[in-house]
Amino acid sequence: MQDLSQSPTDRRFVQNPYRFYETARAAGPFFFWNDLGLPCTTSHAAVNAILRDRRFGREPPPTARQPPPEHLKAFQQVEDHSMLELEPPRHTRLRGLVLRAFTARRIAAMAPEIATLAHRLIDDLPDPETDLIPGFCQRLPITLIARLIGIPESLAPELLRWSSAMVAMYQTGRSRAVEERAATAAAIFTEFLNLHIKARRTRPADDLLTHLIAAESDGAKLSPDEVISTCILILNAGHEAAVHAIGNAVATLLTQATPPEALCTPNIARTVEELLRFNPPLHLFRRTAYANAEIMGQPIPQGATVGLLLAAANRDPGHWHRPHHFRWTRPEHAHLAFGAGIHFCLGAPLARLELATALPILFTRLPGLRLTRRPRYAATWHFRGLERLPVTR
């Protein structure tokens, strides 16, 4: 396994990490990323295999668990009940209960609401030049998630601040200040949701919070801590990943001179999948080996953590033809933007629906939409999204 160095906070890397991914790919299926201190893989086959292999998981093994430092206890309280961090049997039980509330039927019914909101946000855009990130890409998913959970839309700015503070914990090289902000946000968010849970127990509504409280399987229900962690997980993923997915998609469509027919009804689903493959919002998953394993000839000892480079896997030439080209006509082929296996993204149907509904509306309403400057990515590589998306119409 070859050792390679690349700072994940380097300005040039953040703007285009794919050059480094190709250097790493030339080293073989696995390489050791010195700056992260862990072996990583760019291989689609390896990433897909590890995500589906029950010898690997997200939850640290019991021997590796450490009590959190005092200043992170509020944040860890949320993490301890998050299905993103759990493995079977707790993960199985929790995901099963959540799916009883977060149904495909409920998500599909949101299409008219997404369309109405997209039109409203476009109406509110300043004319003629604007930054689409705060005006459209952020407001669309955060508003929808607030409505879905059952939180007043007027509180969306507060949700956005709490979510941003908590998600910063997953970035490389976090500071003590980042940790303290995340813990404070977790404590405030927990208290906020506790009040809403108490209100929903006496005044149920047709929202996700009510359905999570009522969800039951074989007599088992979600505990208050599990309801809170699930709502925070849905908000954080629905905000951070969805904002970047929309922003990255718009930037790709504009820079690749995509024809209007790519966003027409017969083609939009395929175009959305290619957008997610070509420029996904999430670039890194970590998995820990629970037993000695060998993947594509690489031995991985028990207890080792492996970095799975999802965006690199989505451009693996061994799996895709001309992977560095955006081709909206590309035949459908499973990508890894939403992960795979038992932790496959719960919000994938909503993310796909947001893109498939909002993008055609945006480009139909604003047929002259074009960039005024090169899109600039924020200095956060793990979640890769645009800092600004300056456009004119």
> Cα–Cα distances in Å, from 61 out to 1, 46, 260, 343?
25, 22, 50, 17
User: Nearest Cα to 136, choosing from 251, 264, 259, 280?
Assistant: 251
User: Regarding predicted confidence, which is higher, 237 or 365?
Assistant: 365
> Cα–Cα distances in Å, from 206 out to 101, 123, 132, 214, 224?
10, 28, 31, 11, 18
pLDDT of amino acid 218: 64
Q: In the chain, where are the structural domains located?
A: 2-392
Question: How large is the average pLDDT for residues 236-244?
Answer: 84
pLDDT of amino acid 118: 98
Q: What is the CATH number of domain 2-392?
A: 1.10.630.10
What percent of the chain shows pLDDT beyond 90? Answer: 71
Has residue 65 got a pLDDT over 80?
A: no
Give Cα 15 distance to the centre of its chain. Answer: 19
Has residue 78 got a pLDDT over 80?
A: yes
User: Nearest Cα to 50, choosing from 37, 38, 63?
Assistant: 38
Indicate the average pLDDT of the chain.
Answer: 92
Contact criterion met (CB below 8 Å) for 285 and 40: no
Coil vs helix vs strand at 171: coil
pTM above 0.85, yes or no: yes
Has residue 64 got a pLDDT over 80?
A: no
pLDDT of amino acid 217: 64
Sorted by sequence, the CB contacts under 8 Å of residue 199 that are 6+ apart come out as none
Q: Please tell me the distance from the alpha carbon of residue 269 to that of residue 332, in angstroms, as a whole number.
A: 9
Amino acid 308 reads: L
pLDDT digits (tens, 9 = 90+) for 168-224: 888 877 889 999 999 999 999 999 999 999 999 999 998 889 988 888 766 778 888
* Assigned token pair, 296: 């594509």
User: Regarding predicted confidence, which is higher, 67 or 200?
Assistant: 200
pLDDT digits (tens, 9 = 90+) for 282-319: 999 999 999 999 999 999 999 999 999 999 999 999 99
pLDDT of amino acid 117: 97
pLDDT digits (tens, 9 = 90+) for 81-124: 998 889 999 999 989 888 888 888 889 999 999 999 999 999 99
Has residue 336 got a pLDDT over 70?
A: yes
